[in-house]
């Protein structure tokens, strides 16, 4: 772009207090309670795996996989909460928000592999039924139910102060229902010798786990790939900006997610030549529109006077979004 072009670069610094914002979201959440919930669920996962192997119940292994997912989700929430308290710095100018997404991506990938394996095992059990120790399956399912309820009680009081913990609380309720299903299956094996119930429960739980994985995996991937938020209409956003008095056009528009709760935007805004004092008013209107209508709190705007110099090389970029 030629040096003769008169430019103004404006940046909204309100988005730099990321750590403080995250801490506010999780205010009132007890670290010790969250950590105890993680420990209880990890111990339960190990116990279910051991009992599943010795009892021959794939349903227990499936429930262990589901519980493993929720335990890791709690662990990620705990670690992310600790990391998010660190302030942004010169190396990480946006802070440490995406630590949670990286952990979630690893967790979901591992869980997808486990879920597919359990589907395979469930199908094989239909073809080649194996002896199952019903009483061990029932005892482990009962223990799992107790721990699920205990974890839910630990999280219940905290769930009103954090969206993450509230989601974990709901997951634990689902876990408890899964444990009830395994317990009923164990009863069917003990009293009626219905060994086919075990692979049926396995496939149901594994299907639910895989559904959760394929529902959450695209979201984590999109954030890490700096994709446009799925619910944001880029054409509508550009239209709103260009409807503001004094704005002639836009280009080089990019919107991405810093994490699940925070969005950012950068854009070149073409304005009509006139009184320089009007620039501040235009900037304020654009930022209010972005915040109120599109939930974008962090925005970087570069202003260019209409008809001065040559257009930017990527003036047509918006057409590709």
- Residue 175 shares a structural domain with residue 59: yes
Domain ranges, residue 289? 229-320
Of 62-66, 79-83, 301-305, 317-321, give the lowest mean pLDDT range: 317-321
**Mind listing the pLDDT tens digit for each residue in 258-306?**
877 789 999 999 998 776 778 888 999 999 999 999 999 899 999 998 8
How many structural domains comprise the chain? 2
- CATH number for 26: 1.20.1510.10
Give the Cα separation of 49 and 41 in Å (integer).
Answer: 12
Q: What is the mean pLDDT of residues 235-251?
A: 92
Q: What is the mean pLDDT of residues 124-148?
A: 90
- CATH number for 312: 3.30.70.1350
Residue 294's pLDDT is 94
Residue 316's pLDDT is 36
Q: What is the mean pLDDT of residues 139-154?
A: 87
- Residue 314 shares a structural domain with residue 207: no
DSSP state of 159: G
Instruction: Decide if 262 contacts 298 (C-beta within 8 A).
Output: yes
The reply to whether 82 falls in a domain is: yes
What lies within 8 Å, CB to CB, of 206 at 6+ separation is 62, 65, 115, 118, 119, 122
The reply to whether 97 falls in a domain is: yes
**Domain limit, last residue, from 224, 251, 268:** 224
Residue 81's pLDDT is 66
- pLDDT of 197 > 90? The answer is yes
**Mind listing the pLDDT tens digit for each residue in 17-65?**
333 333 333 344 466 777 888 888 888 899 999 999 999 999 988 888 8
220-224 long-range CB contacts below 8 Å, 24 or more apart?
220/101, 220/104, 220/105, 220/108, 221/105, 222/257, 223/98, 223/101, 223/257, 223/259, 223/260, 224/98, 224/101, 224/102, 224/105
- Residue 252 shares a structural domain with residue 112: no
- pLDDT of 174 > 90? The answer is no
**Domain limit, last residue, from 191, 224, 257:** 224
Mean pLDDT, the chain, rounded, equals: 79
Q: What is the mean pLDDT of residues 88-100?
A: 80
**Domain limit, last residue, from 192, 224, 256:** 224
Backbone angles phi, psi at 264, to 5 degrees: -135, 155
- Residue 234 shares a structural domain with residue 214: no
Greatest alpha-carbon span in the chain: 88
Residue 151's pLDDT is 81
């Amino acid at each position: 772009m030629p040096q003769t072009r008169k430019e103004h670069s404006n940046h909204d610094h309100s988005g730099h207090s990321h750590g403080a914002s995250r801490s506010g979201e999780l205010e009132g959440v007890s670290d010790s309670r969250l950590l105890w919930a993680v420990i209880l669920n990890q111990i339960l996962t190990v116990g279910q795996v051991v009992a599943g192997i010795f009892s021959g119940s794939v349903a227990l292994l499936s429930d262990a996989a589901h519980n493993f997912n929720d335990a890791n989700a709690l662990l990620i929430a705990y670690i992310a909460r600790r990391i998010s308290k660190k302030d942004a710095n010169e190396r990480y100018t946006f802070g440490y928000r995406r630590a949670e997404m990286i952990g979630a991506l690893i967790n979901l990938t591992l869980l997808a592999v486990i879920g597919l394996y359990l589907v395979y095992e469930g199908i094989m059990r239909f073809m080649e039924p194996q002896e199952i120790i019903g009483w061990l399956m029932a005892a482990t399912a009962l223990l799992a139910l107790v721990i699920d309820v205990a974890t839910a009680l630990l999280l219940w009081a905290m769930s009103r102060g954090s969206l993450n913990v509230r989601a974990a609380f709901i997951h634990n309720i689902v876990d408890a229902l899964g444990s009830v299903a395994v317990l009923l299956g164990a009863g069917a094996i003990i009293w009626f010798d219905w060994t086919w119930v075990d692979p049926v429960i396995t496939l149901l739980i594994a299907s639910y786990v895989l559904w959760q994985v394929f529902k959450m995996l695209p979201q984590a991937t999109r954030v890490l790939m700096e994709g446009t938020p799925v619910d944001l209409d880029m054409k509508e956003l550009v239209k709103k900006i260009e409807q503001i008095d004094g704005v002639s056009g836009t280009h080089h528009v990019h919107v991405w997610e810093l994490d699940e709760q925070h969005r950012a935007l950068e854009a070149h805004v073409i304005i009509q030549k006139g009184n320089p004092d009007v620039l501040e008013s235009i900037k304020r209107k654009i930022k209010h529109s972005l915040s109120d209508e599109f939930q974008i709190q962090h925005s970087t705007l570069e202003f260019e006077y209409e008809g001065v110099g040559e257009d930017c090389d990527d003036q047509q970029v918006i057409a590709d979004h």
